[in-house]
Amino acid sequence: QVQLQQSGPGLVRPSQTLSLTCAISGDSVSSNSAAWNWVRQSPSRGLEWLGRTYYRSKWYNDYAVSVKSRIIINPDTSKNQFSLQLNSVTPEDTAVYYCARRLSTARAYYAMDVWGQGTTVTVSS
Amino acid sequence: DIVMTQSPDSLAVSLGERATIDCKSSQSVLYTSNNKTYLAWFQQKSGQPPRLLVYWASTRESGVPDRFSGSGSGTDFTLTISSLQAEDVAVYYCQQYYSIPYTFGQGTKLEIK
């Protein structure tokens, strides 16, 4: 059974960096059939996909335009986890952050089927 | 970006009755090369992450009760709960994963009448 366990601080000061980690059990961050995503949820923006990392003979990343200048998603193969780094945060980045897996095969993409428990992050001084 | 629009925003249905939620995408989410429709439905209960119910518009995820069904094609989709149970109270979201950025509907809050 695949599980994703999130960790990271719940309070970040404005202009600082938000850092979260998603530890994977039951699958591999280097899997050739998975993509590892970050999604956030807030009352004002709803559910918002932020970006993903995945391995297909080499590492790829894709990011939402809304955060592209501030976001880094990194895999950590030694710990079988991936991380989210969001720089220069403002109160608008206050949200519940989720990590999620999306599988694919050569023939088709599947939906995000496994989610982390969520981390409530507040940006405030 | 593909815009996902759900209706209604909220819905109250009696126990045992049918609940229907609609979702419309601003462009087709049908991948013609494999004839797969990249539309999913999620259920989210208070304090929990979204739970995948349906993918490819109509394929039920493993473990999801068969009272949940998805239908539709192209740009118009429906999630139906055939006989509402108390544990179905939640917010329901549709999502397209045809192209990035993946986008979600605004959610439909389902309550018991």
Which residue among A48, A62, A112 sits closest to B52, beta carbon to beta carbon?
A112
**How far is the C-alpha of A102 from the C-alpha of A52, rounded, in Å?**
9
Cβ pairs bridging A and B (under 8 Å) = 57
Pick from B104, B84, B112: which is nearest to B16 by CA? B84
| Mean per-residue pLDDT of chain A | 97
| Residue-by-residue pLDDT tens, chain B, 113 positions | 999 999 999 999 999 999 999 999 999 999 999 999 999 999 999 999 999 999 999 999 999 999 999 999 999 999 999 999 999 999 999 999 999 999 999 999 999 99
Pick from A68, A125, A42: which is nearest to B101 by CA? A68
**Residues A76-92: tens digit of each pLDDT:** 999 999 999 999 999 99
Q: Is A47 on the interface with B (CB under 8 A)?
A: yes
Helix or strand or coil: residue B7? strand
Cis peptide before A43 (omega within 30 of 0): no
- Torsion angle in degrees (nearest 10) through CA of B52, B54, B56, B59: 130
Which residue among A49, A110, A113 sits closest to B102, beta carbon to beta carbon?
A49
- Region A33-38: mean pLDDT is 97
